[in-house]
Structure 1
Amino acid sequence: MNNTEKPTPRTLGNVSWHDRAACRFTVHDQADPDLFFPEPDEMDRIRVAKALCDRCPVRTTCLDSALENGDQDGIRGGMTEEERHSVHRKFQLRLDYGRVNAVLAGSDIHLTAAERRAAARAAYQAGTSAEELARMLKVTKEHAQKLYRRTRRQLRDRAIDQQKKANTGEQTPQGRTAALKKPSVHAPSRDDLGEAA
Protein backbone atom coordinates (compact mmCIF):
# COMPACT_ATOMS: atom_id res chain seq x y z
CA MET A 1 0.00 0.00 0.00
CA ASN A 2 1.33 3.39 -0.97
CA ASN A 3 1.05 6.01 1.80
CA THR A 4 2.29 8.92 -0.27
CA GLU A 5 0.12 11.95 -0.83
CA LYS A 6 0.54 14.70 -3.35
CA PRO A 7 2.64 17.13 -1.32
CA THR A 8 2.28 20.85 -1.07
CA PRO A 9 5.11 22.15 -3.24
CA ARG A 10 8.14 22.64 -1.04
CA THR A 11 9.95 25.94 -0.97
CA LEU A 12 13.43 26.22 -2.41
CA GLY A 13 16.03 24.80 -0.07
CA ASN A 14 13.43 23.27 2.24
CA VAL A 15 14.63 19.85 3.40
CA SER A 16 12.27 19.50 6.37
CA TRP A 17 10.62 16.62 4.50
CA HIS A 18 13.76 14.55 5.25
CA ASP A 19 12.48 14.12 8.82
CA ARG A 20 9.43 12.21 7.54
CA ALA A 21 11.31 10.01 5.05
CA ALA A 22 11.07 6.24 5.54
CA CYS A 23 14.81 5.91 4.82
CA ARG A 24 15.97 8.26 7.58
CA PHE A 25 18.42 6.82 10.07
CA THR A 26 17.05 6.94 13.60
CA VAL A 27 17.78 5.11 16.85
CA HIS A 28 14.65 2.98 16.31
CA ASP A 29 14.86 2.56 12.54
CA GLN A 30 18.37 2.06 11.26
CA ALA A 31 18.00 1.98 7.48
CA ASP A 32 21.34 1.48 5.76
CA PRO A 33 22.03 4.55 3.55
CA ASP A 34 24.17 2.37 1.25
CA LEU A 35 21.03 0.38 0.42
CA PHE A 36 19.97 3.26 -1.86
CA PHE A 37 23.17 3.16 -3.91
CA PRO A 38 23.21 -0.40 -5.29
CA GLU A 39 25.08 -1.57 -8.35
CA PRO A 40 22.80 -2.10 -11.38
CA ASP A 41 22.93 -5.89 -11.02
CA GLU A 42 22.12 -5.96 -7.27
CA MET A 43 18.43 -6.69 -7.81
CA ASP A 44 17.76 -7.82 -4.23
CA ARG A 45 19.07 -4.53 -2.80
CA ILE A 46 17.09 -2.58 -5.38
CA ARG A 47 13.87 -4.43 -4.44
CA VAL A 48 14.44 -3.80 -0.71
CA ALA A 49 15.13 -0.09 -1.28
CA LYS A 50 12.08 0.32 -3.50
CA ALA A 51 9.91 -1.48 -0.94
CA LEU A 52 11.02 1.07 1.64
CA CYS A 53 10.24 3.89 -0.80
CA ASP A 54 6.76 2.41 -1.42
CA ARG A 55 5.80 3.02 2.21
CA CYS A 56 7.42 6.46 2.41
CA PRO A 57 5.04 9.40 3.06
CA VAL A 58 7.32 11.85 1.20
CA ARG A 59 8.17 9.72 -1.82
CA THR A 60 6.84 12.26 -4.35
CA THR A 61 8.69 15.11 -2.67
CA CYS A 62 11.88 13.05 -2.71
CA LEU A 63 11.50 12.39 -6.44
CA ASP A 64 10.71 16.06 -7.15
CA SER A 65 13.79 17.09 -5.19
CA ALA A 66 15.98 14.69 -7.15
CA LEU A 67 14.61 15.99 -10.46
CA GLU A 68 14.82 19.65 -9.48
CA ASN A 69 18.40 19.28 -8.28
CA GLY A 70 19.48 17.04 -11.15
CA ASP A 71 20.46 14.20 -8.80
CA GLN A 72 21.57 11.29 -10.94
CA ASP A 73 22.86 8.88 -8.30
CA GLY A 74 21.07 6.29 -6.22
CA ILE A 75 17.45 5.38 -5.71
CA ARG A 76 15.32 8.47 -5.13
CA GLY A 77 11.54 8.61 -4.89
CA GLY A 78 11.33 4.89 -5.58
CA MET A 79 13.17 5.10 -8.90
CA THR A 80 16.63 3.88 -9.86
CA GLU A 81 19.10 6.08 -11.72
CA GLU A 82 18.16 4.40 -14.99
CA GLU A 83 14.43 4.81 -14.39
CA ARG A 84 14.85 8.51 -13.58
CA HIS A 85 16.95 9.15 -16.68
CA SER A 86 13.99 9.53 -19.05
CA VAL A 87 12.06 11.47 -16.40
CA HIS A 88 14.99 13.91 -16.07
CA ARG A 89 14.87 14.58 -19.80
CA LYS A 90 11.12 15.31 -19.73
CA PHE A 91 11.19 17.21 -16.44
CA GLN A 92 11.29 20.71 -17.93
CA LEU A 93 8.01 19.96 -19.73
CA ARG A 94 6.16 19.36 -16.44
CA LEU A 95 3.24 21.74 -16.01
CA ASP A 96 1.63 21.58 -12.57
CA TYR A 97 -0.76 24.49 -12.06
CA GLY A 98 -0.71 23.88 -8.31
CA ARG A 99 2.98 24.82 -8.34
CA VAL A 100 2.30 27.81 -10.61
CA ASN A 101 -0.47 29.09 -8.35
CA ALA A 102 1.71 28.60 -5.27
CA VAL A 103 4.40 30.83 -6.80
CA LEU A 104 1.81 33.43 -7.78
CA ALA A 105 0.61 33.38 -4.16
CA GLY A 106 4.13 34.14 -2.94
CA SER A 107 5.72 30.75 -2.31
CA ASP A 108 9.36 30.28 -3.24
CA ILE A 109 9.10 27.11 -5.35
CA HIS A 110 11.25 25.68 -8.14
CA LEU A 111 9.34 25.91 -11.44
CA THR A 112 10.10 24.14 -14.68
CA ALA A 113 10.41 26.13 -17.91
CA ALA A 114 6.79 25.28 -18.83
CA GLU A 115 5.57 26.31 -15.37
CA ARG A 116 7.47 29.61 -15.62
CA ARG A 117 5.75 30.37 -18.91
CA ALA A 118 2.36 29.59 -17.34
CA ALA A 119 3.18 31.82 -14.36
CA ALA A 120 4.13 34.66 -16.71
CA ARG A 121 0.86 34.22 -18.64
CA ALA A 122 -1.21 34.27 -15.44
CA ALA A 123 0.71 37.25 -14.02
CA TYR A 124 0.26 39.13 -17.30
CA GLN A 125 -3.48 38.45 -17.14
CA ALA A 126 -3.65 39.73 -13.59
CA GLY A 127 -1.87 42.95 -14.53
CA THR A 128 1.17 42.11 -12.44
CA SER A 129 4.12 44.38 -13.13
CA ALA A 130 7.32 43.02 -14.62
CA GLU A 131 9.10 43.98 -11.39
CA GLU A 132 6.69 41.87 -9.33
CA LEU A 133 6.95 38.94 -11.76
CA ALA A 134 10.74 39.16 -11.49
CA ARG A 135 10.48 38.98 -7.71
CA MET A 136 8.10 36.00 -7.80
CA LEU A 137 10.23 34.03 -10.26
CA LYS A 138 13.60 35.12 -8.82
CA VAL A 139 14.72 36.50 -12.18
CA THR A 140 15.86 39.90 -13.40
CA LYS A 141 13.37 42.55 -14.44
CA GLU A 142 14.74 42.27 -17.97
CA HIS A 143 14.00 38.54 -18.04
CA ALA A 144 10.49 39.16 -16.71
CA GLN A 145 9.94 41.73 -19.47
CA LYS A 146 11.15 39.13 -22.00
CA LEU A 147 8.64 36.62 -20.62
CA TYR A 148 5.87 39.22 -21.01
CA ARG A 149 6.93 40.01 -24.61
CA ARG A 150 6.82 36.28 -25.43
CA THR A 151 3.38 36.01 -23.79
CA ARG A 152 2.02 38.97 -25.79
CA ARG A 153 3.42 37.49 -29.01
CA GLN A 154 1.85 34.07 -28.32
CA LEU A 155 -1.51 35.62 -27.53
CA ARG A 156 -1.39 37.77 -30.65
CA ASP A 157 -0.52 34.73 -32.79
CA ARG A 158 -3.32 32.71 -31.20
CA ALA A 159 -5.83 35.50 -31.90
CA ILE A 160 -4.67 35.69 -35.54
CA ASP A 161 -4.97 31.91 -35.94
CA GLN A 162 -8.47 31.95 -34.47
CA GLN A 163 -9.48 34.75 -36.83
CA LYS A 164 -8.15 32.84 -39.83
CA LYS A 165 -10.06 29.73 -38.77
CA ALA A 166 -13.22 31.76 -38.28
CA ASN A 167 -12.84 33.37 -41.72
CA THR A 168 -12.34 30.04 -43.49
CA GLY A 169 -14.91 28.12 -41.47
CA GLU A 170 -12.29 25.57 -40.32
CA GLN A 171 -13.07 23.09 -37.61
CA THR A 172 -11.93 24.22 -34.19
CA PRO A 173 -10.00 21.77 -31.98
CA GLN A 174 -13.26 20.97 -30.19
CA GLY A 175 -14.77 19.78 -33.50
CA ARG A 176 -17.16 22.72 -33.94
CA THR A 177 -17.23 24.87 -37.04
CA ALA A 178 -15.83 28.28 -36.29
CA ALA A 179 -18.29 31.16 -36.37
CA LEU A 180 -18.73 32.65 -39.82
CA LYS A 181 -18.86 36.21 -38.61
CA LYS A 182 -15.59 38.08 -38.86
CA PRO A 183 -14.17 38.76 -35.40
CA SER A 184 -12.67 42.11 -34.67
CA VAL A 185 -8.88 42.18 -34.86
CA HIS A 186 -7.35 43.30 -31.61
CA ALA A 187 -4.32 42.53 -29.57
CA PRO A 188 -5.33 40.19 -26.78
CA SER A 189 -5.77 41.82 -23.44
CA ARG A 190 -4.86 40.40 -20.08
CA ASP A 191 -8.51 39.39 -19.68
CA ASP A 192 -8.21 37.03 -22.68
CA LEU A 193 -5.93 34.65 -20.78
CA GLY A 194 -8.33 33.02 -18.35
CA GLU A 195 -7.28 31.44 -15.07
CA ALA A 196 -3.91 29.81 -14.54
CA ALA A 197 -5.55 26.67 -13.21
Structure 2
Amino acid sequence: MHSATTHEPRTLGDHTWQNQAACHTTPHADPELFFPEPDEIDRIRAAKTICAQCPVRRTCLDAALENGDRDGIRGGLTEEERDALHSKLAQRLDYTRINATLAGGDVHLSRAERRAVARDAYRAGIPADQLARRLKVTVEHAKKLYRHAAREISHRNTKTKPKATRTAKAAPITPARTPVRTDLGTAA
Protein backbone atom coordinates (compact mmCIF):
# COMPACT_ATOMS: atom_id res chain seq x y z
CA MET A 1 0.00 0.00 0.00
CA HIS A 2 1.38 3.40 -0.95
CA SER A 3 1.40 6.18 1.59
CA ALA A 4 0.01 9.60 0.75
CA THR A 5 3.54 10.96 0.43
CA THR A 6 4.45 8.52 -2.35
CA HIS A 7 1.35 9.24 -4.41
CA GLU A 8 2.16 9.72 -8.06
CA PRO A 9 -0.35 11.99 -9.78
CA ARG A 10 -2.20 10.50 -12.71
CA THR A 11 -1.03 11.86 -16.02
CA LEU A 12 -3.45 12.93 -18.74
CA GLY A 13 -4.81 9.98 -20.65
CA ASP A 14 -2.92 7.46 -18.48
CA HIS A 15 -5.10 4.58 -17.35
CA THR A 16 -2.32 2.09 -16.63
CA TRP A 17 -2.88 2.66 -12.91
CA GLN A 18 -6.05 0.56 -13.26
CA ASN A 19 -3.92 -2.57 -13.73
CA GLN A 20 -2.66 -2.10 -10.15
CA ALA A 21 -6.11 -1.54 -8.64
CA ALA A 22 -7.16 -3.99 -5.94
CA CYS A 23 -10.57 -4.38 -7.59
CA HIS A 24 -8.76 -5.72 -10.70
CA THR A 25 -6.10 -7.79 -8.95
CA THR A 26 -8.20 -9.35 -6.17
CA PRO A 27 -9.25 -12.85 -7.24
CA HIS A 28 -13.01 -13.32 -7.51
CA ALA A 29 -13.79 -9.62 -6.94
CA ASP A 30 -17.16 -9.09 -8.59
CA PRO A 31 -17.19 -5.72 -10.42
CA GLU A 32 -20.86 -5.34 -9.45
CA LEU A 33 -19.77 -5.21 -5.82
CA PHE A 34 -18.59 -1.64 -6.47
CA PHE A 35 -22.04 -0.51 -7.64
CA PRO A 36 -24.28 -1.22 -4.65
CA GLU A 37 -27.60 0.39 -3.90
CA PRO A 38 -27.45 2.94 -1.04
CA ASP A 39 -29.13 0.53 1.40
CA GLU A 40 -26.81 -2.43 0.64
CA ILE A 41 -24.55 -1.84 3.63
CA ASP A 42 -22.81 -5.24 3.47
CA ARG A 43 -21.83 -4.76 -0.20
CA ILE A 44 -20.62 -1.22 0.52
CA ARG A 45 -18.53 -2.49 3.44
CA ALA A 46 -17.07 -5.32 1.32
CA ALA A 47 -16.14 -2.95 -1.53
CA LYS A 48 -14.57 -0.46 0.88
CA THR A 49 -12.52 -3.28 2.45
CA ILE A 50 -11.00 -4.02 -0.96
CA CYS A 51 -10.44 -0.31 -1.62
CA ALA A 52 -8.68 0.09 1.74
CA GLN A 53 -5.95 -2.29 0.51
CA CYS A 54 -5.59 -0.67 -2.90
CA PRO A 55 -2.20 0.82 -3.83
CA VAL A 56 -3.82 3.25 -6.31
CA ARG A 57 -6.81 4.28 -4.20
CA ARG A 58 -6.01 8.00 -4.34
CA THR A 59 -5.39 7.90 -8.08
CA CYS A 60 -8.76 6.15 -8.51
CA LEU A 61 -10.45 8.88 -6.47
CA ASP A 62 -8.69 11.62 -8.47
CA ALA A 63 -9.81 10.01 -11.74
CA ALA A 64 -13.41 9.72 -10.52
CA LEU A 65 -13.48 13.38 -9.49
CA GLU A 66 -11.74 14.70 -12.60
CA ASN A 67 -14.00 12.68 -14.91
CA GLY A 68 -17.16 13.64 -13.03
CA ASP A 69 -17.82 9.96 -12.32
CA ARG A 70 -20.66 9.87 -9.82
CA ASP A 71 -21.55 6.16 -9.99
CA GLY A 72 -20.34 3.40 -7.70
CA ILE A 73 -17.60 3.21 -5.13
CA ARG A 74 -14.40 4.84 -6.37
CA GLY A 75 -11.27 5.52 -4.37
CA GLY A 76 -12.92 3.96 -1.34
CA LEU A 77 -15.81 6.44 -1.28
CA THR A 78 -19.47 6.03 -2.14
CA GLU A 79 -21.31 8.32 -4.53
CA GLU A 80 -22.71 10.30 -1.61
CA GLU A 81 -19.31 10.63 0.06
CA ARG A 82 -17.76 11.96 -3.17
CA ASP A 83 -20.50 14.56 -3.73
CA ALA A 84 -18.87 17.23 -1.58
CA LEU A 85 -15.50 16.56 -3.22
CA HIS A 86 -16.94 17.04 -6.71
CA SER A 87 -18.05 20.55 -5.86
CA LYS A 88 -14.68 21.41 -4.30
CA LEU A 89 -12.54 19.98 -7.11
CA ALA A 90 -11.76 23.38 -8.65
CA GLN A 91 -10.22 24.47 -5.33
CA ARG A 92 -8.13 21.29 -4.83
CA LEU A 93 -4.56 22.24 -3.98
CA ASP A 94 -2.29 19.20 -3.93
CA TYR A 95 1.40 20.10 -3.96
CA THR A 96 2.33 16.60 -5.12
CA ARG A 97 0.50 17.40 -8.34
CA ILE A 98 1.96 20.92 -8.53
CA ASN A 99 5.52 19.68 -8.05
CA ALA A 100 5.02 16.92 -10.61
CA THR A 101 3.88 19.53 -13.14
CA LEU A 102 6.81 21.82 -12.36
CA ALA A 103 9.10 18.83 -12.90
CA GLY A 104 7.62 18.38 -16.38
CA GLY A 105 4.83 15.89 -15.63
CA ASP A 106 1.61 15.89 -17.64
CA VAL A 107 -0.82 16.15 -14.71
CA HIS A 108 -4.51 17.04 -14.80
CA LEU A 109 -4.69 20.13 -12.52
CA SER A 110 -7.50 21.99 -10.81
CA ARG A 111 -7.81 25.76 -11.30
CA ALA A 112 -6.19 26.37 -7.92
CA GLU A 113 -3.32 24.04 -8.78
CA ARG A 114 -2.79 25.77 -12.15
CA ARG A 115 -2.56 29.13 -10.36
CA ALA A 116 -0.07 27.65 -7.89
CA VAL A 117 2.05 26.23 -10.73
CA ALA A 118 2.13 29.66 -12.39
CA ARG A 119 3.00 31.39 -9.11
CA ASP A 120 5.76 28.90 -8.24
CA ALA A 121 7.15 28.95 -11.79
CA TYR A 122 7.19 32.76 -11.70
CA ARG A 123 9.05 32.74 -8.38
CA ALA A 124 11.53 30.18 -9.76
CA GLY A 125 12.18 32.32 -12.84
CA ILE A 126 10.97 29.66 -15.29
CA PRO A 127 10.56 31.30 -18.71
CA ALA A 128 6.98 31.81 -19.96
CA ASP A 129 7.51 29.44 -22.90
CA GLN A 130 8.37 26.60 -20.50
CA LEU A 131 5.31 27.36 -18.36
CA ALA A 132 3.21 27.37 -21.54
CA ARG A 133 4.48 23.87 -22.43
CA ARG A 134 3.86 22.54 -18.93
CA LEU A 135 0.31 23.89 -18.79
CA LYS A 136 -0.44 23.35 -22.49
CA VAL A 137 -1.34 26.99 -23.07
CA THR A 138 -0.06 29.68 -25.40
CA VAL A 139 2.99 31.74 -24.46
CA GLU A 140 0.71 34.79 -24.35
CA HIS A 141 -1.54 33.05 -21.84
CA ALA A 142 1.51 32.00 -19.80
CA LYS A 143 2.63 35.65 -19.70
CA LYS A 144 -0.85 36.61 -18.52
CA LEU A 145 -0.60 33.97 -15.77
CA TYR A 146 2.75 35.46 -14.77
CA ARG A 147 1.21 38.95 -14.56
CA HIS A 148 -1.49 37.54 -12.27
CA ALA A 149 1.16 35.73 -10.20
CA ALA A 150 3.21 38.92 -9.86
CA ARG A 151 0.13 40.85 -8.64
CA GLU A 152 -0.81 38.05 -6.24
CA ILE A 153 2.70 37.92 -4.78
CA SER A 154 2.83 41.71 -4.52
CA HIS A 155 -0.59 41.75 -2.85
CA ARG A 156 0.47 39.07 -0.35
CA ASN A 157 3.63 40.99 0.48
CA THR A 158 1.58 44.14 1.07
CA LYS A 159 -0.81 42.26 3.35
CA THR A 160 2.00 40.88 5.51
CA LYS A 161 3.50 44.27 6.33
CA PRO A 162 2.49 45.67 9.70
CA LYS A 163 -0.50 47.96 9.45
CA ALA A 164 1.39 50.98 10.76
CA THR A 165 3.95 50.86 7.94
CA ARG A 166 1.22 50.65 5.31
CA THR A 167 -0.93 53.52 6.51
CA ALA A 168 1.41 55.90 8.28
CA LYS A 169 3.36 58.43 6.30
CA ALA A 170 7.03 57.65 6.20
CA ALA A 171 9.12 59.75 8.52
CA PRO A 172 11.81 61.75 6.80
CA ILE A 173 15.04 59.85 6.64
CA THR A 174 17.84 61.62 8.42
CA PRO A 175 21.31 60.26 8.02
CA ALA A 176 22.67 58.72 11.15
CA ARG A 177 25.55 60.66 12.55
CA THR A 178 28.68 58.64 11.96
CA PRO A 179 30.98 58.85 14.95
CA VAL A 180 34.26 60.48 14.10
CA ARG A 181 37.15 58.23 14.77
CA THR A 182 40.41 59.87 15.43
CA ASP A 183 42.22 56.88 16.71
CA LEU A 184 42.61 54.62 13.65
CA GLY A 185 44.21 51.56 15.12
CA THR A 186 44.64 48.31 13.29
CA ALA A 187 42.27 45.43 13.65
CA ALA A 188 43.69 42.49 15.55
TM-score exceeds 0.5: yes
Deviation (angstroms), 1:146: 2.1
Contact 1:5 1:58 in 2 (8 A): no
Q: Distance in 1 between matches of 2:153 and 2:59?
A: 34
SS in 2 for 1:23: helix
Q: Distance in 1 between matches of 2:25 and 2:53?
A: 15
Taking a change above 3 Å as real, the CA distance of residues 24 and 104 of structure 1, as seen in their structure-2 partners, is same
Contact 1:4 1:60 in 2 (8 A): no
| Structure with greater Cα Rg | 2
What is the aligned partner in structure 2 of residue 5 from structure 1? 3
* Structure 2 counterpart of 1:152, from 150, 153, 160: 150
Q: AA paired with 1:68?
A: E
Q: Distance in 2 between matches of 1:143 and 1:131?
A: 10
Deviating more after overlay: 113-122 vs 93-102: 93-102
1:30 aligns with 2:28: yes
Q: Distance in 1 between matches of 2:25 and 2:56?
A: 15
Q: Distance in 1 between matches of 2:140 and 2:161?
A: 32
- Identity level (%): 58
Deviation (angstroms), 1:108: 0.5
What is the aligned partner in structure 2 of residue 175 from structure 1? none
What is the aligned partner in structure 2 of residue 59 from structure 1? 57
Deviation (angstroms), 1:21: 0.9
Deviation (angstroms), 1:81: 0.5
CA deviation vs aligned residue, 1:71-99 (integer Å, no higher than 9, x gap): 11110011000100001111222212221
CA deviation vs aligned residue, 1:138-185 (integer Å, no higher than 9, x gap): 122232222112112222323333456251699xxxxxxxxxx88xxx
TM-score in terms of structure 1 length: 0.76
Note the aligned Cα RMSD (angstroms). 2.4
Query: Structure 2: where are the runs of 5+ without partners?
Result: 172-188
Contact 1:24 1:31 in 2 (8 A): yes
Q: AA paired with 1:13?
A: G
TM-score in terms of structure 2 length: 0.80
Deviation (angstroms), 1:66: 1.0
1:14 aligns with 2:21: no
Length, aligned pairs only: 169
SS in 2 for 1:109: coil
1:119 aligns with 2:121: no
Taking a change above 3 Å as real, the CA distance of residues 163 and 50 of structure 1, as seen in their structure-2 partners, is closer
Q: Distance in 2 between matches of 1:87 and 1:97?
A: 17
Taking a change above 3 Å as real, the CA distance of residues 17 and 154 of structure 1, as seen in their structure-2 partners, is same
What is the aligned partner in structure 2 of residue 128 from structure 1? 126
